[in-house]
Amino acid sequence: MQIATIDGRHFHYRVAGTPAAAPTLVLVHAFPLGAGMFAPQEDAFPGWRLVIPALPGFDGADLNDDASVDAYAADVLRLLDHMRVDRAVFAGVSLGGYLLFGLLRQQPARVRAMVLADTRSAADAPGARAGREKLLQTARTAGPAAIADEMLPKLLGDTTRTRRPQVGDAVRRMIEGQTGEGIAAAVQVLMTRPDSTPLLPAINVPTLVLVGREDTLTAPAEMEQMAAGIAGAEFVQIEDAGHLANLENPAAFNRLVAGWLTSLT
Protein backbone atom coordinates (compact mmCIF):
# COMPACT_ATOMS: atom_id res chain seq x y z
CA MET A 1 0.00 0.00 0.00
CA GLN A 2 1.35 3.41 -0.98
CA ILE A 3 0.61 6.65 0.88
CA ALA A 4 0.17 10.14 -0.54
CA THR A 5 -0.27 13.24 1.63
CA ILE A 6 -2.71 15.61 -0.07
CA ASP A 7 -4.02 18.76 1.61
CA GLY A 8 -2.79 17.40 4.93
CA ARG A 9 -4.63 14.08 4.65
CA HIS A 10 -3.20 10.61 4.05
CA PHE A 11 -4.50 8.82 0.96
CA HIS A 12 -3.72 5.09 0.70
CA TYR A 13 -3.67 3.25 -2.61
CA ARG A 14 -2.24 0.31 -4.52
CA VAL A 15 -0.55 0.41 -7.91
CA ALA A 16 -0.28 -2.73 -10.03
CA GLY A 17 0.05 -3.91 -13.59
CA THR A 18 2.17 -2.24 -16.26
CA PRO A 19 4.34 0.87 -15.57
CA ALA A 20 3.14 4.45 -15.69
CA ALA A 21 3.38 4.87 -19.47
CA ALA A 22 0.43 2.51 -19.90
CA PRO A 23 -3.23 3.60 -19.90
CA THR A 24 -4.73 3.67 -16.42
CA LEU A 25 -7.55 1.55 -15.02
CA VAL A 26 -8.87 2.79 -11.67
CA LEU A 27 -10.60 0.15 -9.52
CA VAL A 28 -12.93 1.45 -6.78
CA HIS A 29 -13.82 -0.98 -4.03
CA ALA A 30 -17.07 -2.11 -2.46
CA PHE A 31 -18.49 -1.64 1.03
CA PRO A 32 -17.30 -2.70 3.58
CA LEU A 33 -14.05 -4.03 2.09
CA GLY A 34 -10.88 -2.23 1.08
CA ALA A 35 -8.51 -2.08 -1.86
CA GLY A 36 -7.41 -5.67 -1.20
CA MET A 37 -10.63 -6.97 -2.74
CA PHE A 38 -9.01 -6.41 -6.14
CA ALA A 39 -6.06 -8.73 -5.52
CA PRO A 40 -7.38 -11.21 -8.16
CA GLN A 41 -7.34 -8.40 -10.73
CA GLU A 42 -3.86 -6.98 -10.09
CA ASP A 43 -2.13 -9.08 -12.77
CA ALA A 44 -5.13 -9.73 -15.00
CA PHE A 45 -4.93 -6.89 -17.51
CA PRO A 46 -1.60 -6.76 -19.39
CA GLY A 47 -0.80 -3.37 -20.86
CA TRP A 48 -2.74 -1.46 -18.20
CA ARG A 49 -1.57 0.31 -15.07
CA LEU A 50 -3.98 -0.28 -12.19
CA VAL A 51 -4.61 2.34 -9.53
CA ILE A 52 -6.66 1.03 -6.60
CA PRO A 53 -7.59 3.73 -4.06
CA ALA A 54 -8.60 2.95 -0.50
CA LEU A 55 -11.68 5.05 0.15
CA PRO A 56 -11.63 7.42 3.15
CA GLY A 57 -11.41 5.51 6.42
CA PHE A 58 -10.46 2.21 4.75
CA ASP A 59 -7.08 0.46 4.85
CA GLY A 60 -5.69 3.15 7.16
CA ALA A 61 -6.59 6.11 4.92
CA ASP A 62 -7.73 9.28 6.67
CA LEU A 63 -11.44 9.94 6.91
CA ASN A 64 -13.12 12.72 4.97
CA ASP A 65 -15.12 15.14 7.15
CA ASP A 66 -17.82 15.07 4.48
CA ALA A 67 -19.31 11.57 4.37
CA SER A 68 -21.01 11.94 1.00
CA VAL A 69 -20.66 10.08 -2.27
CA ASP A 70 -19.55 13.18 -4.15
CA ALA A 71 -16.92 14.04 -1.51
CA TYR A 72 -15.54 10.50 -1.72
CA ALA A 73 -15.51 10.72 -5.52
CA ALA A 74 -13.66 14.03 -5.28
CA ASP A 75 -11.02 12.28 -3.17
CA VAL A 76 -10.45 9.77 -5.97
CA LEU A 77 -9.95 12.70 -8.34
CA ARG A 78 -7.53 14.36 -5.89
CA LEU A 79 -5.44 11.20 -5.82
CA LEU A 80 -5.39 11.06 -9.62
CA ASP A 81 -4.36 14.73 -9.74
CA HIS A 82 -1.51 13.88 -7.37
CA MET A 83 -0.47 11.02 -9.67
CA ARG A 84 -0.85 13.23 -12.78
CA VAL A 85 -3.52 10.97 -14.28
CA ASP A 86 -5.69 13.19 -16.46
CA ARG A 87 -8.02 10.53 -17.90
CA ALA A 88 -8.68 6.89 -17.08
CA VAL A 89 -10.98 3.94 -17.39
CA PHE A 90 -12.86 3.43 -14.12
CA ALA A 91 -14.36 0.26 -12.67
CA GLY A 92 -16.46 0.33 -9.52
CA VAL A 93 -18.04 -2.49 -7.54
CA SER A 94 -21.13 -1.70 -5.44
CA LEU A 95 -20.19 1.45 -3.46
CA GLY A 96 -17.42 1.94 -6.02
CA GLY A 97 -20.07 2.15 -8.72
CA TYR A 98 -21.91 4.87 -6.80
CA LEU A 99 -18.67 6.85 -6.78
CA LEU A 100 -18.38 6.55 -10.55
CA PHE A 101 -21.64 8.43 -10.87
CA GLY A 102 -20.13 11.06 -8.57
CA LEU A 103 -17.15 11.34 -10.93
CA LEU A 104 -19.51 11.83 -13.86
CA ARG A 105 -21.28 14.66 -12.02
CA GLN A 106 -18.00 16.42 -11.28
CA GLN A 107 -15.51 15.79 -14.10
CA PRO A 108 -17.05 13.63 -16.84
CA ALA A 109 -14.25 14.42 -19.30
CA ARG A 110 -11.84 12.40 -17.14
CA VAL A 111 -13.84 9.19 -17.62
CA ARG A 112 -12.64 7.44 -20.77
CA ALA A 113 -14.85 4.38 -20.20
CA MET A 114 -16.29 2.55 -17.21
CA VAL A 115 -17.29 -0.76 -15.70
CA LEU A 116 -20.29 -0.79 -13.36
CA ALA A 117 -20.26 -4.01 -11.37
CA ASP A 118 -22.92 -5.15 -8.90
CA THR A 119 -24.20 -1.63 -8.33
CA ARG A 120 -27.22 0.57 -9.10
CA SER A 121 -27.98 4.10 -10.21
CA ALA A 122 -31.00 4.58 -7.91
CA ALA A 123 -30.83 5.99 -4.41
CA ASP A 124 -31.93 3.89 -1.45
CA ALA A 125 -35.63 3.10 -1.43
CA PRO A 126 -37.48 4.48 1.61
CA GLY A 127 -37.69 1.03 3.17
CA ALA A 128 -33.92 0.62 3.07
CA ARG A 129 -33.34 3.57 5.39
CA ALA A 130 -34.13 1.64 8.56
CA GLY A 131 -31.68 -1.08 7.58
CA ARG A 132 -28.95 1.49 6.99
CA GLU A 133 -29.65 3.11 10.37
CA LYS A 134 -29.31 -0.27 12.06
CA LEU A 135 -26.07 -0.98 10.20
CA LEU A 136 -24.72 2.44 11.21
CA GLN A 137 -25.47 1.72 14.86
CA THR A 138 -23.82 -1.71 14.58
CA ALA A 139 -20.67 -0.18 13.10
CA ARG A 140 -20.45 2.40 15.87
CA THR A 141 -21.19 0.11 18.80
CA ALA A 142 -20.17 -3.43 17.84
CA GLY A 143 -17.46 -2.84 15.25
CA PRO A 144 -16.24 -4.59 12.12
CA ALA A 145 -16.70 -8.19 13.32
CA ALA A 146 -20.43 -7.60 13.81
CA ILE A 147 -20.61 -5.91 10.41
CA ALA A 148 -19.01 -9.01 8.87
CA ASP A 149 -21.60 -11.22 10.57
CA GLU A 150 -24.37 -9.02 9.20
CA MET A 151 -23.05 -8.54 5.68
CA LEU A 152 -21.43 -11.82 4.64
CA PRO A 153 -24.67 -13.71 3.87
CA LYS A 154 -25.76 -10.79 1.66
CA LEU A 155 -22.46 -10.19 -0.11
CA LEU A 156 -21.81 -13.73 -1.31
CA GLY A 157 -23.84 -15.96 -3.60
CA ASP A 158 -25.12 -19.39 -2.64
CA THR A 159 -22.50 -21.13 -4.79
CA THR A 160 -19.66 -19.31 -3.06
CA ARG A 161 -20.99 -19.99 0.42
CA THR A 162 -21.48 -23.71 -0.22
CA ARG A 163 -18.55 -24.54 -2.51
CA ARG A 164 -15.87 -21.92 -1.77
CA PRO A 165 -15.93 -21.13 1.95
CA GLN A 166 -12.37 -19.82 1.69
CA VAL A 167 -13.72 -16.80 -0.21
CA GLY A 168 -16.01 -16.01 2.71
CA ASP A 169 -13.07 -16.34 5.10
CA ALA A 170 -11.06 -13.87 3.00
CA VAL A 171 -13.94 -11.40 2.83
CA ARG A 172 -14.39 -11.61 6.60
CA ARG A 173 -10.71 -10.82 7.13
CA MET A 174 -10.97 -7.80 4.85
CA ILE A 175 -13.99 -6.45 6.71
CA GLU A 176 -12.52 -7.10 10.15
CA GLY A 177 -9.34 -5.32 9.05
CA GLN A 178 -11.25 -2.03 8.76
CA THR A 179 -12.33 0.34 11.54
CA GLY A 180 -15.80 0.93 12.90
CA GLU A 181 -15.40 4.66 12.17
CA GLY A 182 -14.51 4.08 8.52
CA ILE A 183 -17.38 1.64 8.03
CA ALA A 184 -19.85 3.98 9.76
CA ALA A 185 -18.83 6.88 7.51
CA ALA A 186 -19.31 4.69 4.45
CA VAL A 187 -22.80 3.73 5.65
CA GLN A 188 -23.63 7.43 5.73
CA VAL A 189 -22.32 7.73 2.17
CA LEU A 190 -24.58 4.86 1.10
CA MET A 191 -27.71 6.16 2.77
CA THR A 192 -27.37 9.78 1.59
CA ARG A 193 -26.34 9.19 -2.02
CA PRO A 194 -28.51 10.88 -4.65
CA ASP A 195 -30.48 9.19 -7.39
CA SER A 196 -28.09 8.98 -10.34
CA THR A 197 -30.65 7.52 -12.76
CA PRO A 198 -31.10 10.90 -14.53
CA LEU A 199 -27.41 10.70 -15.51
CA LEU A 200 -27.82 7.52 -17.53
CA PRO A 201 -29.01 9.02 -20.85
CA ALA A 202 -26.07 11.46 -20.83
CA ILE A 203 -23.39 8.78 -20.49
CA ASN A 204 -21.53 8.70 -23.81
CA VAL A 205 -18.49 6.57 -23.01
CA PRO A 206 -18.09 2.81 -23.49
CA THR A 207 -19.75 1.10 -20.53
CA LEU A 208 -19.68 -2.50 -19.37
CA VAL A 209 -22.30 -3.53 -16.81
CA LEU A 210 -21.53 -6.74 -14.90
CA VAL A 211 -23.51 -8.55 -12.21
CA GLY A 212 -23.25 -11.83 -10.39
CA ARG A 213 -26.22 -13.99 -11.37
CA GLU A 214 -26.78 -14.78 -7.67
CA ASP A 215 -26.56 -11.14 -6.50
CA THR A 216 -29.48 -10.39 -4.17
CA LEU A 217 -28.39 -6.85 -3.23
CA THR A 218 -28.31 -5.44 -6.77
CA ALA A 219 -30.44 -7.90 -8.68
CA PRO A 220 -29.55 -8.78 -12.29
CA ALA A 221 -32.94 -7.58 -13.55
CA GLU A 222 -32.41 -4.15 -12.00
CA MET A 223 -28.91 -3.90 -13.41
CA GLU A 224 -30.07 -4.94 -16.85
CA GLN A 225 -32.63 -2.14 -16.74
CA MET A 226 -29.88 0.31 -15.72
CA ALA A 227 -27.70 -0.87 -18.62
CA ALA A 228 -30.60 -0.32 -21.02
CA GLY A 229 -30.62 3.33 -20.00
CA ILE A 230 -27.00 3.83 -21.13
CA ALA A 231 -26.53 4.10 -24.88
CA GLY A 232 -24.42 1.24 -26.20
CA ALA A 233 -23.80 -0.34 -22.79
CA GLU A 234 -22.97 -4.05 -22.70
CA PHE A 235 -24.67 -6.13 -19.99
CA VAL A 236 -23.29 -9.48 -18.80
CA GLN A 237 -24.19 -11.81 -15.93
CA ILE A 238 -21.41 -13.74 -14.20
CA GLU A 239 -22.26 -17.29 -13.22
CA ASP A 240 -21.67 -18.74 -9.74
CA ALA A 241 -21.27 -15.31 -8.14
CA GLY A 242 -23.19 -12.94 -5.93
CA HIS A 243 -22.54 -9.28 -5.05
CA LEU A 244 -18.73 -9.58 -5.09
CA ALA A 245 -18.42 -11.11 -8.54
CA ASN A 246 -14.77 -10.09 -8.98
CA LEU A 247 -13.85 -12.17 -5.91
CA GLU A 248 -16.34 -15.00 -6.28
CA ASN A 249 -15.63 -15.80 -9.93
CA PRO A 250 -12.45 -13.89 -10.76
CA ALA A 251 -11.67 -15.99 -13.85
CA ALA A 252 -14.93 -14.97 -15.53
CA PHE A 253 -14.75 -11.37 -14.29
CA ASN A 254 -11.17 -10.94 -15.49
CA ARG A 255 -11.86 -12.54 -18.86
CA LEU A 256 -14.83 -10.28 -19.52
CA VAL A 257 -13.07 -7.09 -18.44
CA ALA A 258 -9.84 -7.96 -20.28
CA GLY A 259 -11.73 -8.56 -23.52
CA TRP A 260 -13.66 -5.33 -23.10
CA LEU A 261 -10.47 -3.35 -22.40
CA THR A 262 -8.97 -4.75 -25.60
CA SER A 263 -11.93 -3.37 -27.53
CA LEU A 264 -11.05 0.14 -26.28
CA THR A 265 -7.59 0.18 -27.87
Q: What is the H or E stretch that residue 114 is in?
A: strand 111-117
Distance CA 142, CA 115 (A): 34
As to burial, measured by CB atoms within 10 angstroms (0-12 exposed, 13-18 middle, 19+ buried), residue 35 is buried
Domain count, the chain: 1
Query: If we measure between CA atoms, which residue out of 161, 147, 121, 165 comes closest to residue 241?
Result: 161
- Label the pairing between strands 88-93 and 24-28: parallel
Fill in the amino acid letter for 222: E
Q: Would you state the pLDDT for residue 129?
A: 81
Q: Which helix (H) or strand (E) holds 158?
A: helix 158-163
pLDDT number for residue 215: 98
pLDDT at position 168, please?
Answer: 97
Tell if the pTM clears 0.75, that is, is over it: yes
Q: pLDDT in tens for each of the 265 residues of the chain?
A: 999 999 999 999 999 998 777 899 999 999 999 999 999 999 999 999 999 999 999 999 999 999 999 999 999 999 999 999 999 999 999 999 999 999 999 999 999 999 999 999 999 988 888 889 999 999 999 999 999 999 999 999 999 999 999 999 999 999 999 999 999 999 999 999 999 999 999 999 999 999 999 999 999 999 999 999 999 999 999 999 999 999 999 999 999 999 999 999 7
The CATH number of the domain where 21 resides is what?
3.40.50.1820
pLDDT of residue 3: 97
Name the nearest CA neighbour of 68 among 180, 188, 178: 188
Closest CA to 96 of 173, 25, 150: 25
232: closest CA among 213, 204, 260?
A: 204
Cβ atoms of 171 and 51 closer than 8 Å: no
Owning domain of residue 37:
2-264
Collapse the DSSP code of 252 into the 3-class scheme (helix H, G, I; strand E, B; otherwise coil) and give the result.
helix
